[in-house]
Amino acid sequence: EGDAFVVEGATNVKFSRELTVPGHKEPLIILGTGYRDKFFVKVYAAAFYVDISIGLDTEQWRKKVGLETFDASSGFDSIFKAPVVKSLNITLVRDVDGKTFVKALDGVIARRIQKRTDEEESSLSAFRNSFLGRNLKKGTTIYLTWLEPSRMLVSVSTDQGPSQVDVEVKSATVNYALYDGFFGSSPVSPTLRSSTAQLLEAILTK
């Protein structure tokens, strides 16, 4: 069982090495883990998964992602735009009410989208509504799965699987703003970004 899981060191949350997401046949493989703390309190652990074809042929995958070498600033952007499915798994390590969780993610998005179009606004409210009124207990997992830049599936699960989709967000701008919140230049979880960058660099340079 040791090989089937990766443990996030600061929170001891166990993440499965592979993840099957709705709308995609192939399992995704874990690329990095990290945690988020707020005022010195750990709030959640997170893991980033990418389409497993990454393990088959580095050369082909490089072409698919459009990356020759990995540079953290442009590399994550290339991965967002590339036709590879990605998923972020956020596992709460304390109880959080839905409103607080939405407020935190809203802050991430607001910094990245100054003037919102109607489409972005309606995508945002659909996203918010999937959390509002919920009590997100410790151990709850939130999956954000980017099937493509303009299709992000949100699944909130208490039993470790993203099989049920709570909402699909169809605004590439909103989807990118969330992704950039984790993998842009001022990430909400620096540990997640740096551990993912290290592994990507290793894969792309092998």
DSSP 10-79: TTTEEEESEE--TT-SSPEEEEEEEEEEETTEEEEEEEEEEEGGGGT-HHHHHHHHT-SS--HHHHHHHH
- Other beta carbons less than 10 A from residue 86's beta carbon: 23
Residue 112 within any structural domain of the chain: yes
Residue 140 within any structural domain of the chain: yes
Main-chain phi, psi angles of 106, to 5 degrees:
-60, -40
Residue 123 within any structural domain of the chain: yes
pLDDT digits (tens, 9 = 90+) for 21-49: 998 988 999 999 999 998 788 999 999 99
- Other beta carbons less than 10 A from residue 115's beta carbon: 5
Q: What is the average pLDDT score of the chain?
A: 88
Q: For residue 41, what are the β-bridge partners?
A: 38
β-strands 41-51, 28-38 pairing? antiparallel
Residue 51 within any structural domain of the chain: yes
In this predicted structure, which of 66-70, 127-131, 132-136 has the lowest mean pLDDT?
A: 66-70
Domain span at residue 81? 2-201
Region 52-56 average pLDDT? 58
pLDDT at 75: 84
Cα gap 89→108, rounded to integer Å: 17
pTM of the model: 0.92
Residue 206 within any structural domain of the chain: no
Nearest alpha-carbon partner for 32 in 21, 20, 46:
46
CATH of the domain at 42: 3.50.70.10
Is pLDDT at 138 greater than 60 in this prediction?
A: yes
Is pLDDT at 72 greater than 90 in this prediction?
A: no
For the chain, the domain total comes to 1
Residue 31 within any structural domain of the chain: yes
Amino acid identity for residue 182 in this structure: F
Q: For residue 154, what are the β-bridge partners?
A: 144, 167
In this predicted structure, which of 40-49, 68-77, 186-195 has the lowest mean pLDDT?
A: 68-77
More confident residue, 205 or 137: 137
pLDDT at 122: 92
pLDDT at 54: 52
Cα gap 107→118, rounded to integer Å: 19
* Six-digit token string for 30: 């874990």
Residue 98 within any structural domain of the chain: yes
Cα gap 204→62, rounded to integer Å: 7
Cα gap 112→93, rounded to integer Å: 27
Cα gap 188→38, rounded to integer Å: 10
pLDDT at 42: 93
More confident residue, 130 or 47: 47
Residue 187 within any structural domain of the chain: yes
